[in-house]
Structure 1
Amino acid sequence: MRNAMSVDVEDWFQVQAFAKTIARADWDSLESRVVANTERVLDQMAAQNTRATYFTLGWVAERHPALIRRIVAEGHELASHGHGHEQVSAIGEAAFRADIRRAKQALEDAGGVRVRGYRAPTFSISATATPWAHQVLQEEGHDYSSSVFPIRHDLYGSPDAPRDPHRPHPDGVVEIPMTTLRALGRNFPVSGGGWFRLIPYAVFRTALKRVNGADRRPCVFYFHPWEVDPGQPRLDHAGRLSKFRHYTGLDTMHHRVGQLLRDFSWDRMDEVFAGAIGPEPARQGVAA
C-alpha cells in the first residue's frame, strides 16, 4: 500500500516550542539552516526514489525561491504551510485568509505550479476553534487540508475528529487527518515528527503496518528538515519541556527516516489521496 510522505519546511527557530523564546522580529537575524537541511532531505529521497509533499512556509519561499524550484523539479508536490507559522486558532479568520493568500502566491511564484494542499502550523485547525477554516481554504483556491490530528495533546489535537479523509464544512476543502492507531479506546499518534523521534522504531513500524493491514488505510507521515540537523544552535534559555521536545532524537533522525523510506512505499499526498481530493482543476494564473 502506498503511504503519503510529507515534509513541513520551516527553519529551526520558527517552531512552536520556541515561540515564547524567539521573537518573530528576530527571525531574519538568526542563522538560517532551512536550505541545507531541506536539501539533505531531498538528496535522501532522491537516493530512495521517493516523492513527497513539501508543506512549505511562504516566508521560506520568499527568501529561498531556488529551493522551491528544486522541490518542484524533482517531482515533489509543493504545498502550503501558511506564511508566518502562526497558529490558525490564535490569529482569527481575517488574518488567516491574508496569511494563506500571501503564502500561496509566494509558493506559486517561486515554483511555477498550482498549490493545492495546506497544513496548519502546529495542527491548529479544529471544528470548535476554527469552524470557518476549511471554507476559507476553499475560497482561497486550495483543494485539501492536512491539518487535523485526532489525538489529545497539550498544544494541539482533535481527539473526536474522524480518522479518515472527510469534509468538515460542506463548502470547504477535504481534510486528510494525520494518522492514528485506534487501540484501548483511544487514538495513538503514528504520523511522525517528535513522536517518531521518541518512540522506538520497531514499535512505530509495527503500528504503521497495522494501519496499512488491519485498518486498510494509507498512512500520512510528516517530519521537518530541522529534525535531521543535530548541529543546529541550542537554546539554553528555552523551557525544559520545549528543549526536550525539540532536541530529543535529532542525532538518529536522518537514519530512521532512511529506514522508513526503505520499509514502506511512499508518494505525494495528492497522489495517495487522489480519490478523496479529486482531479486537478484547470490551472489559472500560474506560470508554467
Structure 2
Amino acid sequence: MAACAMTVDLEDYFQVSAFSQHSPLSQWDEFDCRVEKNTHTLLDLFARYDVKATFFILGWIAERYPDLIRTIALQGHEIASHGYHHQRVTSLSQEAFLEDISRSKALLENITGSRVIGYRAPSFSFNNETPWVYDCLVAAGYQYSSSVYPVQHDHYGSPLLPRFAFHSHSQCLEIPISTLKMQWGSVFNKNVPIGGGGYFRFYPQWLSLWFLKQFHRQEQQPYIFYIHPWELDPHQPRLFDVGIKTRFRHYVNLDKTYQRLERLLQLYQWQRMDQLFTTSISAAIEVSGEQALA
C-alpha cells in the first residue's frame, strides 16, 4: 500500500492569510469561532477509518481551546506547531520568528505534556530567501518542517525547491507538500499542486484521484496531504468584502469536501508525519547528538 501522510492545519476561517486585510489579529476575538465544532467533525471522520494524522496547530487556537488540543493528542494524533499568530515568515524578522515558534511549541507541550518536533509555516512561506528559518527551528528544538510547497502561486510557493523530503539543515528535515511533475515536450514542464487545500476542492474528485494514482506510479515517495477544519464547514460566516478570486478560492465546493475526504480515507492508508518519516528524522537527531559530543 502506498505511503500517505494526513495533515491538518488547525486554524479558523477568519485566520487564513487571504483575509488578513479584513480580520486583523486585534479583532480575532470578535469573530464567531467555529474551529472546535469543525475539528470534532474531522476527528470523528478520522476515527471511523482509524486514521492517525498530524495536526499543525495555531498557538492562538491552542491557548483558547486547550481541551480540544488534549482530545486530539489523546486520540493518537501527532501535535505539531503552526506558529502562534499565523504570520507569514517573510513578514517577520529572524528574532520575531524564533519568538513565535518557541512560544507556540512551549504552549503545545505544556497542554499535552508531550514533545513537539514538527512545524508548518503559515501559507507555506519558506522560500529561497529565508534560509535562516532552519537555524531558528533547530534552536527552538524542532526536528522537521513541512513548510515548502514547490509550486507557482501568487500567495505562496517555491517551485525551484526540491519536491521531496530533504535535509534543509543537518538537524532538520523539510517535507514538502506533494506535487505531480507534468511534462509535455518543451511547452509544459511544471509541478502540479495535488496535496490538498483549495486545489482539492477545486479539482473534480475524479481528477484528484487520478493525480494521486499517477503520483504513486511515477514516484517512490510518500504522498503528503493537508486540509483545514473550516473546509468541512459550508455554513461558515461570509463576512468579508473580498475580491472574486479570493472568494472563489475560499468557498468553492465547501459542501463537497467532507465526502471527498471520506473517499480518500477509504482508498488509502494514512499515517502521522513523525511516524512516516521516522528514519529520516532520526538521522537528523543522530547528527545533532554527534555534534553535541564533538
- Whether these two folds match at TM > 0.5 is yes
Equivalent residue for 1:286?
none
Does 1:213 pair with 2:217?
yes
**For 1:82 and 1:201, how far apart are their aligned partners in 2?**
31
**Any residues of structure 2 matched to 1:182-261 within 5 Å, and which?**
182-184=181-183, 185-261=189-265
Equivalent residue for 2:7?
6
Shift, 1:236, TM fit: 4.7
Does 1:263 pair with 2:262?
no
On the 8 A contact 2:22/2:240 being kept in 1, the answer is no
Secondary structure of the residue that 1:181 maps to in structure 2? Answer: strand
Q: Deviations over 1:142-195 (max 9, x none)?
A: 00000000011101111011111112234x511000100001221000100000
- In structure 2, give the amino acid aligned to 1:215: E
Return the TM-score normalized by structure 2.
0.92
Equivalent residue for 1:274?
278
Q: Deviations over 1:93-138 (max 9, x none)?
A: 111001001100111111111111000000001122x110011101
Once the two structures are overlaid, the 10-residue window that deviates more, 198-207 or 75-84, is: 198-207
- In structure 1, give the amino acid aligned to 2:219: D
Shift, 1:279, TM fit: 7.2
Secondary structure of the residue that 1:278 maps to in structure 2? Answer: helix
**Any residues of structure 2 matched to 1:59-208 within 5 Å, and which?**
59-128=60-129, 130-170=130-170, 172-184=171-183, 185-208=189-212
Unaligned runs of 5+ in 1: 283-288
Shift, 1:237, TM fit: 1.3
**For 2:56 and 2:253, how far apart are their aligned partners in 1?**
22
On the 8 A contact 1:127/1:168 being kept in 2, the answer is no
**For 2:163 and 2:106, how far apart are their aligned partners in 1?**
30
Q: Deviations over 1:72-95 (max 9, x none)?
A: 000000000000000001112111
Shift, 1:45, TM fit: 0.2
On the 8 A contact 1:119/1:147 being kept in 2, the answer is yes
- In structure 2, give the amino acid aligned to 1:133: V
Once the two structures are overlaid, the 10-residue window that deviates more, 150-159 or 203-212, is: 203-212
Unaligned runs of 5+ in 2: 184-188, 287-294
Secondary structure of the residue that 2:6 maps to in structure 1? Answer: strand
CA RMSD of aligned residues (A): 1.4
Return the TM-score normalized by structure 1.
0.94
**For 1:120 and 1:236, how far apart are their aligned partners in 2?**
24
Equivalent residue for 2:290?
none
How many residues are treated as equivalent by the alignment?
280
Shift, 1:238, TM fit: 1.9
Regions of 4+ moved over 6 Å? 279-282
Once the two structures are overlaid, the 10-residue window that deviates more, 201-210 or 218-227, is: 201-210
**For 1:100 and 1:159, how far apart are their aligned partners in 2?**
25
Secondary structure of the residue that 2:22 maps to in structure 1? Answer: coil
On the 8 A contact 1:211/1:218 being kept in 2, the answer is no
Once the two structures are overlaid, the 10-residue window that deviates more, 204-213 or 189-198, is: 204-213
**For 2:178 and 2:191, how far apart are their aligned partners in 1?**
9
- In structure 2, give the amino acid aligned to 1:257: L
Secondary structure of the residue that 1:105 maps to in structure 2? Answer: helix
Q: 1:91/1:65 Cα in 2 relative to 1: closer, same or farther (>3 Å)?
A: same
Q: Deviations over 1:203-223 (max 9, x none)?
A: 111111222222121100001
On the 8 A contact 1:17/1:245 being kept in 2, the answer is no
Secondary structure of the residue that 1:103 maps to in structure 2? Answer: helix
**For 1:249 and 1:279, how far apart are their aligned partners in 2?**
41
Percentage of identical aligned residues: 45
Secondary structure of the residue that 2:167 maps to in structure 1? Answer: coil
